[in-house]
Amino acid sequence: MVSDIYRVACAAGFSGDRLGVAKPLVNALIKHGEPACLIFESLAERTLALAQLERRQNDQLGYEPLLEEMLEPILSDCVQAGIPIVGNFGAANPFAAAAVIARLAKEKNLPELKIAVVVGDDISESSYRKMIEAHLAKSDQELLGHSQLVSANVYLGAKEISDALTAGAQVVVTGRVADPALTVGPLMAHFKKSWEDWDFLASATMAGHLLECGAQVTGGYFADPGYKDVPNLSNVGFPIVEFDAQGNICVTKPEGTGGVVNRLTVTEQLLYELHDPASYLTPDVVADITQAAICDLGNNRVELKGVIGHPKPDSLKANICIDGGWLAEAEISYAGHHALERAKLAAQIIRDRIGKDLMLRIDFIGSSSVFMGDSGEGPAMNPSKSFEDIRLRVAAAHQDRQLAMRVCREVTALYTCGPAGGGGVRTSLKPRLNTLVALIPRAEIKSSYVFYKEECSK
């Protein structure tokens, strides 16, 4: 018999999210005693591209770097309670992530853990290049033709996750899937609905959308003192969605945690990154929330009903990351009398030295940095205001690594070749990535799942 309520809890909203939040979620799921799933959403677009770069340097890396720390506190509890774990923490190397989880399971005397890996999102290999080019805008085709391809990944849907869970997977590792798919997959596996039940799929998708950013729906990225107050934000609880067979959604959080779930937090997250509320495109369904109703039930419980679904798109979105050259940044501080004047002199020295070769971004942090343009000139200064601590920041991007490096070298040289009293120089030179988008006919993408076996990963 299928339970009327299925709970999905989200323990991460991005790579690097707060550790330790999964334990209260798992405890809450166990306390309720009904079917449930724990998800981790840790894969932004740039995160995946950086993971691809990492994998190129070491074929054993390229997955979520905090994976072991995320799972170690709760893996045994989840297995014993029958709570599957689903996460896109596989990033650019899902099989390496599965190997880490398998090793952790052995250390915890869980050697028979069934780990499924979703495959098919990565189209970075050279054999896919012509297909990618055929579905890019003409200007992007030219850009790709002159650049090194770093990564290309298609947003997969929830079908493979659902199938893996139905086949008995206790942990499902994915690379690039649509964020809501992490929730849609478990819900479809539990309720066994048709993949053409568009209203149900749309409701499941919006449940996933509410969960996908973690604490954003429970008061994080929301608080504004005196206007939108959030209690005990330092101990913010992460979200749980309760979902029924009719597609009704209730958002809540574990008892005893900080934060708040109310009409405002749910409304803000519902509209987050939603360009068209009548047509939210995902691999599984097109969701329409224009007729949806939000009801605050009190006690950190908010209900969402009335989401409408339409047939899924014929194409899948692909993110293509290409080499964008180098980004150089350098900073130096000036303090005390005439700090701003000395910082402005230092900036002029930098312009004189390398301004003809590089487009410079110059900020005077502590004076003007947020509300100025890229010219580095800054707004008109109030002459009566005294600036006693200024941080000069210089940045530039260029395809030529050595030319970009000049920013770091010239700012460092200000120690003894610039105005009096400069100190605290910090420099950074990092590879830069540019992103292109293509719509790939879904018929051209072959996705599936496999169960991880240690001998197959070697």
Q: At what angle do helices 198-211 and 181-191 cross, to 10 degrees?
A: 130
Q: Report residue 264 as tokens.
A: 């405002």
d(CA 167, CA 66): 27
Say if strands 36-40 and 5-10 run parallel, antiparallel, or are unpaired. Answer: parallel
Q: Which residues fall within 8 angstroms of residue 386, CB to CB, at 6 or more apart?
A: none
Task: List 441's β-bridge partners, or say none.
Answer: 315
Judged by phi (left if over 0) then psi (alpha if -120 to 50, else beta), residue 78 lies in: alpha
Q: Which residues fall within 8 angstroms of residue 12, CB to CB, at 6 or more apart?
A: 21, 40, 41, 42, 70, 87, 89, 214
* Largest interatomic CA distance in the chain: 78
> What does the pLDDT look like over 40-93, one tens digit per residue?
999 988 898 889 889 988 999 999 999 999 999 999 999 999 999 999 999 999
Q: How far is CA 3 from CA 123, 192, 253, 302, in A?
A: 38, 11, 20, 21
Q: Report residue 153 as tokens.
A: 């990944």
Q: For residue 91, which phi and psi values (nearest 5 degrees)?
A: 50, -120
As its CATH architecture, domain 320-433 has: 2-Layer Sandwich (3.30)
Say if strands 85-87 and 171-173 run parallel, antiparallel, or are unpaired. Answer: parallel
d(CA 199, CA 10): 23
d(CA 31, CA 192): 25
> What does the pLDDT look like over 251-284, one tens digit per residue?
999 999 999 999 999 999 999 999 999 999 999 9
d(CA 305, CA 363): 48
- Inter-residue contact 105 to 33 (CB < 8 Å): no
Task: Quote the pLDDT of residue 103.
Answer: 97
d(CA 128, CA 135): 11
Judged by phi (left if over 0) then psi (alpha if -120 to 50, else beta), residue 5 lies in: beta
Task: Quote the pLDDT of residue 439.
Answer: 94
Q: Please state the domain extents for the chain.
A: 5-121+156-312, 320-433
* DSSP character at residue 237: P
Per-residue b or e along 192-208, where b marks 16 or more CB atoms closer than 10 Å to that residue's CB: ebeeebbbbbbbbbbbb
3-state class (DSSP) for residue 30: helix
Q: At what angle do helices 339-354 and 401-417 cross, to 10 degrees?
A: 140
Q: Could you count the other beta carbons within 10 Å of the beta carbon of residue 272?
A: 14
Q: Report residue 382 as tokens.
A: 């109030």
Which sign, positive or negative, has the C-alpha torsion 434, 440, 446, 451? positive
Task: Quote the pLDDT of residue 315.
Answer: 97
The counts of H helices and E strands in the chain are 13, 18
Q: What angle do CA 151, 155, 158 make, to 5 degrees?
A: 145
Task: Quote the pLDDT of residue 127.
Answer: 87
Task: Quote the pLDDT of residue 223.
Answer: 96
Say if strands 240-244 and 249-252 run parallel, antiparallel, or are unpaired. Answer: antiparallel
Q: From the centroid of its chain, how far is CA 387? A: 38
Q: Could you count the other beta carbons within 10 Å of the beta carbon of residue 305?
A: 15
Q: For residue 280, which phi and psi values (nearest 5 degrees)?
A: -90, 105
List the chain residues with pLDDT less than 50: 369-373, 383-384, 457-458
**162 burial class (0-12, 13-18, 19+ CB within 10 angstroms)?**
buried
> What does the pLDDT look like over 397-445, one tens digit per residue?
999 999 999 999 999 999 999 999 999 999 999 988 888 999 999 999 9
